[in-house]
Structure 1
Amino acid sequence: MNVAPIKKNTRIVVGMSGGVDSTVAAYLLKREGFDVIGITLKIWTDRCMHISSEKCCGPDAINDARNMAAQIGIPHYVLDEADCFEKEVISYFLREYSLGRTPNPCIKCNEKIKFGRLWTRVQSWGVEYLATGHYALVENQDHIPRLKKAKDKRRDQSYFLFSLSPGQLSRMITPLGNLEKKEVRAIAKEAGLNVWDKEESRDICFVPGKNYKEFIQGKKTPSNTHSGFIIDEEGKIIGEHQGIEGYTVGQRKGLPGGQGRPLYVVDIDPESKTIRAGSLKSLFKTHCYASQAHWIEKDIESPRPVTVKLRYNYPEVEALLTLLGKDRFRLDFSSPQIGISPGQAAVCYDGDIVLGGGWIEREKA
């Protein structure tokens, strides 16, 4: 863990989820002699007590975080951010689906809650840095922050951090950036931290059982229902749906059968509330556009070759980046890509360095 430029006894808040990663992050910082405080955010309201215990925001996870902080020997506090989370993350999540887009709430949570609201609340405590269990590297060169991939490329989470501002990155510490997951578990086991073998949750924390459609249905009212028709690629009506919120580009489930071939969602039109279904071939795209561009690296030349991630769990692909003014850009892929979903983040890299990215736009058919 390389935090040499930071003076010993510097006060650092660690976001603790009750899992092995954030626990080890706190443990390493404490071992290095920093003044460490553990913080867990309560992001559920009384309306959401169905959150399962293994979720990083559930009641049992908070208990795990509290117990691990005690074992490490650091103070631990729970901050209630349920209202802010509802406004900044859940409302965004629901709004994006209602617009026929596929959201990424983890990116918004990092930007608005963990490195936004949390920092605002702890500044009065004399805190100088925020630390997390993210697998990513943040380096500061001449007071200019640079975001890079983690050593463990299979776990790298730099994708989720692309929208952070220079100010947010400059006060961020990622103790696990130079470690692999197996090393993190080994450190926890050796230290006697009983979460060393705790199974991690890979789902969106506020959606129980991976059932996004059920979660969205539970939030719908007659005024925000977006039912309509399902059409084929020739514009023929082949079925009806009860809401575009239940669909995403690339999806097969929920489409009518009897068409003589597998069908996939290839486009969602929020204005007409129409879902267009087509063949697998129709999902392949040679390019895409993105808006709300955010660049960590400055003075990017255009056009220029990059690698890009179009979803977190997708492999990087080679592309040509062309800037279209301040807020938009185009990506031309070296080979056609499948399942490009409006609303997802397109994050651009130069080797291990995160250049920045933006949010994929819908191209009208």
Structure 2
Amino acid sequence: MVYDARVYDPAERLVVAMSGGVDSSVVAWMLREAGHELVGLFMRNGVKVPEGEASKKSCCSASDARDARMVAGGLGIPFQAVDLKRDFAEIIDYFVQSYRRGRTPNPCAVCNRDLKFDRLLELADELGAAGVATGHYARLAIVDGRVHLRRGVDRKKDQSYQLFAVSEAHLARTRLPLGDLEKPAVRDLAARAGLRTAAKRDSQEICFVPSNDYRKLLAEKGVELTPGVIVDTAGRVLREHDGIENFTIGQRRGHGVGGSVEALYVVELIAATGTVVLGGAEECRSTQMVVEDVNLIGIDRPADGVLHADVQIRYHHGGTPARIEFEADRAVVTFDDPPMAVTPGQGAAFYLGDRLVGGGWIESATRWEGSQVGEVAAADAARTGPSAASQTAASQTAASQTAASQTAERAR
């Protein structure tokens, strides 16, 4: 399928976010073929990628900038490489601070919200452009004045989840030409168009984490690992560890605890004490979670404050039916079938069928009976006073921390 020029006004001027990869290259080619006036923009993040690693990343390196510039030149499109080092520095700081707090960050969703669909729109305004086009695999349309954002046709490549935090106003100015295409078709178009990026490998890593070694990045940013103990859900000490930053919720391997018939997973991280809690598969499931900074897309909040939808809790999660109860700018999500590894710091995306209607950031999750995971909420409450919605989580987490500390002290 070729980009349908009838979807958008071909007379409008657009900024194309060009990463130097095949997807954004094909977007530029499709839009040029449709008659749009274009400006290609490449985002410089200021991260130096070691020689030999650039080919593995396919995003933001010097070689990527060269590829983007040459593709734009071949298409006759004006091109600019924009220095966004300061903006990226804020995302890197968010990434680092998340690990400090025992959370697992989602930098791609933050980048989409703050850079690709915010900062680039500011630049589009400066250039007199109507909007921004990207190579995301998602479908977008305006229906009765509201944004309808759907999963990409290629479900393996679908990137709608990573757009849950982007405002509807910004999405209304976004063009996603690849949403109706599957990846092989995109590569075929690139080859037919003679684009130098046709065979370029896809990005597999976070753009500012060379070799996918986030621990090295934390060390470079001066983060001292928080040692502590690994305990089971009964509080028994299993072993010591070198840093809580090395663990994430749902982790099954690498925790160094064996000898159990049942597989053990990381079910809780208590940053204040450096405690890692292991449990079985059922103890890693969550019946409920609290989601902060809720963003709705294309719908208004239901009159009764309740939405029934499928909730996706990480990038490759298929989604779970749930009841979403809104409270101010947060929501309490109760799952029909408790999923594994609901992870504070990750995003939760709300879907009605294949349509993304909103989402937010996972703050805490209720796991096994009598335990509330939410050390971040507890730490925040200690500084600013817990809200009514988080008092229970704060008190239960404090009790969990105290029990773990006492157990560790006895072990010494």
Q: Which bracket does the TM-score occupy, shorter chain normalised?
A: over 0.9
Partner Cα distance (1:276, 1:144) in 2: 44
Paired residue type of 2:30 = L
Match of 2:364? 362
1:258 Cα deviation after fit: 5.1
CA contact (8 A) 1:138 1:148 kept: yes
Paired residue type of 1:50 = P
Match of 1:278? 279
CA contact (8 A) 1:143 1:170 kept: no
1:294 Cα deviation after fit: 1.1
Query: What do the CA deviations read for 1:138-157 (whole angstroms, capped 9, x no partner)?
Result: 21124322222122222111
CA contact (8 A) 2:239 2:257 kept: no
Partner Cα distance (2:169, 2:357) in 1: 16
CA contact (8 A) 1:238 1:256 kept: no
Partner Cα distance (2:63, 2:98) in 1: 30
Where in structure 2 are the equivalents of 1:209-220 lying within 5 Å?
209-220=211-222
Match of 1:166? 168
Moved more, 213-222 or 53-62: 213-222
1:198 Cα deviation after fit: 1.5
1:349 Cα deviation after fit: 0.4
CA contact (8 A) 2:154 2:181 kept: yes
Paired residue type of 2:67 = D
Structure 1 SS opposite 2:331: strand
Structure 2 SS opposite 1:268: strand
Query: What do the CA deviations read for 1:232-267 (whole angstroms, capped 9, x no partner)?
Result: 212122222332222101113442335534432110
* TM-score normalized with structure 1 length: 0.92
Match of 2:323? 320
Change in CA separation of 1:7 and 1:284 when aligned onto 2, cut-off 3 Å: closer
Q: Which residue, 9, 12, 35 being the options, matches 1:10?
A: 12
- 1:204 matched to 2:206? The reply is yes
Change in CA separation of 1:192 and 1:341 when aligned onto 2, cut-off 3 Å: same
Paired residue type of 2:140 = V
CA contact (8 A) 2:168 2:296 kept: no
Moved more, 196-205 or 131-140: 196-205
Change in CA separation of 1:327 and 1:259 when aligned onto 2, cut-off 3 Å: farther
CA contact (8 A) 1:319 1:334 kept: yes
- 1:303 matched to 2:314? The reply is no
Match of 1:339? 341
CA contact (8 A) 2:312 2:350 kept: yes
Match of 2:260? 260
Partner Cα distance (1:83, 1:253) in 2: 36
Q: Which residue, 142, 145, 166 being the options, matches 1:143?
A: 145
- 1:108 matched to 2:110? The reply is yes
1:3 Cα deviation after fit: 4.6
Partner Cα distance (1:170, 1:252) in 2: 41
Partner Cα distance (1:229, 1:217) in 2: 21
Structure 1 SS opposite 2:98: helix
Where in structure 2 are the equivalents of 1:167-182 lying within 5 Å?
167-182=169-184
Where in structure 2 are the equivalents of 1:232-251 lying within 5 Å?
232-251=232-251
Paired residue type of 1:237 = V
CA contact (8 A) 2:138 2:149 kept: yes
Match of 2:396? none
Query: What do the CA deviations read for 1:301-329 (whole angstroms, capped 9, x no partner)?
Result: 54342112111111122222222x12222
RMSD: 1.9
Aligned residues: 359
Q: Which residue, 82, 86, 96 being the options, matches 1:83?
A: 86
Structure 2 SS opposite 1:250: coil
Change in CA separation of 1:5 and 1:185 when aligned onto 2, cut-off 3 Å: closer
Query: What do the CA deviations read for 1:66-124 (whole angstroms, capped 9, x no partner)?
Result: 1111122211110010121011x111111111111111100000111111222223322
- Structure 2: give runs of 5+ residues left out of the alignment: 366-371, 374-412
* TM-score normalized with structure 2 length: 0.82
Identity %: 36
- Structure 1: give runs of 5+ residues left out of the alignment: none
